[in-house]
Amino acid sequence: MKTVQLPDGEKVPALGIGTWMMGERANARKEEAESVRLGVELGLKLVDTAEMYGEGACESFLGEALAGLRDKVFLVSKVYPHNASRAGVIAACERSLKRLKTDRLDLYLLHWRGGVPLAETIIGFEHLKSQGKIRHWGVSNFDTDDMNELYETPGGEGCVTNQVLYNLTRRGPEWDLIPWLQQHEMPLMAYSPIEQGRIKTGGALAEIAAKHGAKPFQVALAWALRHPGNIVIPKASHPEHMRENAGARDITLDAEDIAKLDAAFPPPSRKRSLEML
């Protein structure tokens, strides 16, 4: 499994598992759990969730789905901005731990900017670290100016990643956010890397997929994985889709492939505000 190095030197899987909207439909839970467990077996051991997903339902689902697998998984969750005060983030984390049936999170993220001062959130995160409740903390949906403000805040350099929307059709972060992250040796975590299945699979994607004996979505994932500092977290509710996602690790795109994708999905020519889903 290709890995990505966090700022403190710890290595995590470059390809993980997203879980948005999992665990919310009773008739799908069994297959979704099978998919998650298969992904872990296939080496996609970074599993991402959030208290927002189903208002805790997804965390509860993962608490069941990952039974017996906790020590094999790098577990990520996210806190609501309105819960991110010094005391609020501690209470929110405790609730997430209870739902996930675990005693610690490997990574805890601020889901997006809110009204709570970053200094308060950082103090809460650092307290949770000191108590062993979380091992690392980071942010999500932070644009470049947000990252600058974070780093100007005492303790802000403790951030280990920024999880943002990034895929072939959402390349805005390439203008200045990704260079900022690279400069600070901080991984980008890409959510919705195939735009929730909405990326057009014809044209260049289809041609490149045929060349590699792969499927178009696998090529889109391979593209997102192409940089050594990217962590990519696609969702797969069905085991066969999870196997397809895992297969993206075996695809190495060459310069011709990248050029074709740039022509079909042009990189940004100016600064764009960070997009969210």
Q: Which residues are catalytic?
A: 53
Residue 271 Cα distances to 143, 176, 267, angstroms:
11, 7, 11
- How far apart are alpha carbons 76 and 245 in whole angstroms? 19
158 three-class SS = helix
- The first and second tokens of residue 176, run together, are 């200045």
Query: Distance between alpha carbon 158 and the CA centroid of its chain, in Å?
Result: 18
- How far apart are alpha carbons 88 and 121 in whole angstroms? 9
**Pick from 268, 2, 261, 51: nearest CA to 143:** 268
- How far apart are alpha carbons 94 and 115 in whole angstroms? 22
**Pick from 92, 8, 100, 99: nearest CA to 47:** 100
Q: Which residues neighbour 117 within 8 Å (Cβ) at sequence distance 6 or greater?
A: none
Residue 76 Cα distances to 59, 105, 154, 222, angstroms:
10, 6, 24, 22
- How far apart are alpha carbons 77 and 100 in whole angstroms? 10
**Pick from 62, 153, 155, 150: nearest CA to 112:** 150
**Pick from 13, 2, 22, 1: nearest CA to 238:** 22
